[in-house]
Amino acid sequence: MTKQTIIIDNLAFAKRNERISGELNLSDCGRLSTLLAADSNKALSSYMPSASIAFNLSGKSGSHGQAFLSLSLQANLSCLCQRCLNEMPLKLDLSFDYQISDIAEEDLMLAELDEPDDIDLQSISQHMDVVALIEDELIMAMPIAPIHDQACASLSNQSGEKPNPFAVLKTLIKS
């Protein structure tokens, strides 16, 4: 299966108020698939109804000539619960705002320190890979150690401590 690529000129895209929406297959996101449950990885080559990544990317121009991108993602994925090691669904509903700037790559990190946290900076690119951006955002949004909310709660109540086999001897001393 060929990997889907979406390349845009992000500055022109934003200035023309363009919009792209669609769905990605897990096979398009190789790095993300390594973080998902093994059963999901087996199904990468075929359509998997339980896993989906829907996206909507829109551009707009600001009143002072700035260019902005807005990305919204809805992902239904499957990962491993780190408590019971069983497969669990993971639903992500995310949105991101970017300002496109002509700041050089090395100065981009310094400029982000001065910007508010709700808008990220993207450098101007005539060949911006939208799929890579989506995959990056999903990887960063994945929980480090996903766990079930309710289904495996009984496992968390077990402390792992075993009864002391010598506790019986204490009762013998008192008698």
99 falls within a domain: yes
54 falls within a domain: yes
12 falls within a domain: yes
Model pLDDT for residues 22-41, shown as the tens digit of each residue: 999 888 888 888 888 765 44
Residue 106: band (very low, low, confident or very high) from pLDDT cuts 50, 70, 90: low
- Give me 138's structure tokens: 């999903």
Q: Other C-beta atoms within 10 Å of 172: how many?
A: 7
> Region 94-99: what's the mean pLDDT?
95
Kindly report the average pLDDT of the chain as a whole number.
Answer: 80
Model pTM? Answer: 0.72
31 falls within a domain: yes
Domain that holds residue 94: 7-155
Q: Residue 50 has what pLDDT? A: 57
**Residue in this structure with the two tokens 């496992």, named with its chain if needed:** 155
Q: Cα separation of 123 and 37, whole Å?
A: 34
Model pLDDT for residues 156-173, shown as the tens digit of each residue: 455 566 777 787 777 777
130 falls within a domain: yes
2 falls within a domain: no
Name the domain count of the chain: 1
107 falls within a domain: yes
- Give me 7's structure tokens: 């390349």
Residue 14: band (very low, low, confident or very high) from pLDDT cuts 50, 70, 90: very high
| Amino acid (one-letter) located at 172 | L
Residue 110: band (very low, low, confident or very high) from pLDDT cuts 50, 70, 90: low
Model pLDDT for residues 115-160, shown as the tens digit of each residue: 556 788 888 999 999 999 999 999 999 999 888 887 574 554 555 6
The CA distances from residue 99 to 83, 85, 123, 141, in Å, are 39, 40, 8, 20
92 falls within a domain: yes
